[in-house]
Amino acid sequence: MITSRRGRRARLLAVTGTALLLAACTGGTKDDGKDAAAGYDPAAAVTLTWWTGQTSEAEQVAERLAAEYHAAHPNVTIKTSAGAGTTDELLTKLSAGFAGGNYPDISYAFGNWAGDLGASGRTQDLTSYVNDPSFGWTEMPEAARTVATADGKVIGVPALVDNLALIYNKKLFDAKGVDHPTDTWSWEDFRAAAKKLTDPATNTYGTAYSVSGSEDTTWHLWPLLWQNGGKILDGTKPAFNSDAGVKALETLRVMAVDDKSMYLDQTDEKYGPLFNSGHVAMMMSGPWSLLDIKTAKLDYGVAYLPGVNGDHQTVSGPDLWVLFDHDDANRAGAARDFIKWLTSAQTDAKWNLAVGNLPLRSSEKDTPEFAAYVEEYPGGRKFFDNLANAKQARPTLPGYEAMSRNVGDAIAKVLQGAASPKEALDQAAQKSAGALED
């Protein structure tokens, strides 16, 4: 897969301080409102630096694609590198690069970094570029397009799209005589099944949840919040501690504390392997899990998340290719052209589908490459269809990182019986108010 999927959503362990450092070091001085590519000469000789953020296998794919682009555009040389030891370390390296004037033309970035990267003043404003009909911007999921937008400006292009759905072990369901999940399940259905599937004698749990306090903890709550009619923010003010937020967290609390049908993962890295070994019957996870499930040779199924009154909203965690401004119109323009090519339906089949991720564009659903992907990962089609349930996006404003940590800590306390949902969420909202910029 494109990024390291082990603990993929546990990515906020050290970035809050980095985000603050990023804002302090950059000051936004380069964002002068001008088009970074104004005067771009497509024939000019340029060298681009591309921080791919990839593991070694996918990095090799990126190198091949860069060479393919260079063969068709000999005047454009693309220097690729992973950019850092792990994708999580990219924000730290970008922050240092902004301070020292040594940053790439293109970098991989987790979507929840968008607000801080946009506030750096170093990103290109791609709004007009991507809205040109030739780009096919609307072929990409709306949630992904929203995450690529910070402070009203498009600062990047989706690099990867995903979502949360319900993955279940058919063998465990059949052994307990429990009906398999359906796309119309309610959270009451989910809770009842989790209780029936929990078996202390075999150390088997009905479901699992991260209590590390990371983004993996936080973003699993957002679908329940939205399904209950709540929202994360009201403008720039925390709103997740509403009645809807309390109800959402109580839905999880009863399974963890009252029913004891929920395995609580302190690390983000255990519940996936426990599912693959048959000790967790259901997990809310994404398409990145399918590779390990395939290796484990499980008989599994995928359904939409349980819903509230027929609302089965999910959350998407799209990652981005962020384009940066170096006061060089030719570099800016060449970077745009390369990313347009990379994210085209034809090339994306050689990139995302080739390494086990969902396609970026709706126009890829009828391609031979998508058919091959679905055959290799049978749950892939359900995840692709589930993109339609990703109707809202996580906020892209500076301070989301700190707020996420506060919410994650609140969820962890509640699921471990140390606080009530109302008490914990109110405290998280109070802590987060000062971190969110007006």
Mean pLDDT of 296-322: 96
CA distance 109 to 317: 11
Indicate if the pLDDT at residue 115 is higher than 90: no
DSSP 3-state of 330? helix
> What pLDDT is stored for residue 32 in this prediction?
57
> What pLDDT is stored for residue 11 in this prediction?
39
Q: What is the mean pLDDT of the chain?
A: 91
Indicate if the pLDDT at residue 391 is higher than 70: yes
Lowest mean pLDDT among 10-19, 30-39, 300-309: 10-19
Lowest mean pLDDT among 12-26, 201-215, 346-360: 12-26
Measured in whole angstroms, the distance separating CA 85 from the mean position of its chain's CA atoms is 19
Share of the chain above pLDDT 70, in %: 92
Mean pLDDT of 332-352: 96
pLDDT tens-place string over residues 253-274? 999 999 999 999 999 999 999 9
> What pLDDT is stored for residue 190 in this prediction?
98
> What pLDDT is stored for residue 16 in this prediction?
42
| CB 240 within 8 Å of CB 225 | yes
| CATH fold of the domain at 15-162+317-389 | D-Maltodextrin-Binding Protein; domain 2 (3.40.190)
Lowest mean pLDDT among 65-69, 254-258, 278-282, 390-394: 390-394
> What pLDDT is stored for residue 17 in this prediction?
45
| CB 435 within 8 Å of CB 23 | no
> What pLDDT is stored for residue 435 in this prediction?
82
Give bridge partners of residue 330 from the DSSP assignment. none
Helix then strand count (H, E) for the chain reads 19, 14
| CATH fold of the domain at 165-315+399-433 | D-Maltodextrin-Binding Protein; domain 2 (3.40.190)
Give bridge partners of residue 283 from the DSSP assignment. 167
Residues whose CB falls within 8 Å of the CB of residue 59, separated by 6 or more in sequence, listed in order: 52, 80, 81, 82
Q: What's the pLDDT band for 388 if we cut at 50, 70, 90?
A: very high
Cβ neighbourhood burial of 12 (10 Å; 0-12, 13-18, 19+): buried
Mean pLDDT of 398-417: 94
> What pLDDT is stored for residue 214 in this prediction?
92
Domains 15-162+317-389 and 165-315+399-433 agree in fold? yes
Mean pLDDT of 145-166: 95
Mean pLDDT of 306-322: 96
Which has more confidence, 28 or 183? 183
Residues whose CB falls within 8 Å of the CB of residue 55, separated by 6 or more in sequence, listed in order: 3, 4, 82
> What pLDDT is stored for residue 4 in this prediction?
34
Domain definitions of the chain by residue range:
15-162+317-389, 165-315+399-433
Cβ neighbourhood burial of 278 (10 Å; 0-12, 13-18, 19+): middle
Cβ neighbourhood burial of 312 (10 Å; 0-12, 13-18, 19+): buried
pTM for this one?
Answer: 0.89
Cβ neighbourhood burial of 414 (10 Å; 0-12, 13-18, 19+): buried
Which has more confidence, 136 or 34? 136
> What pLDDT is stored for residue 24 in this prediction?
45
Indicate if the pLDDT at residue 109 is higher than 90: yes
pLDDT tens-place string over residues 206-257? 999 999 999 999 999 999 999 999 999 999 999 999 999 999 999 999 999 9
Mean pLDDT of 409-416: 98
Measured in whole angstroms, the distance separating CA 112 from the mean position of its chain's CA atoms is 8
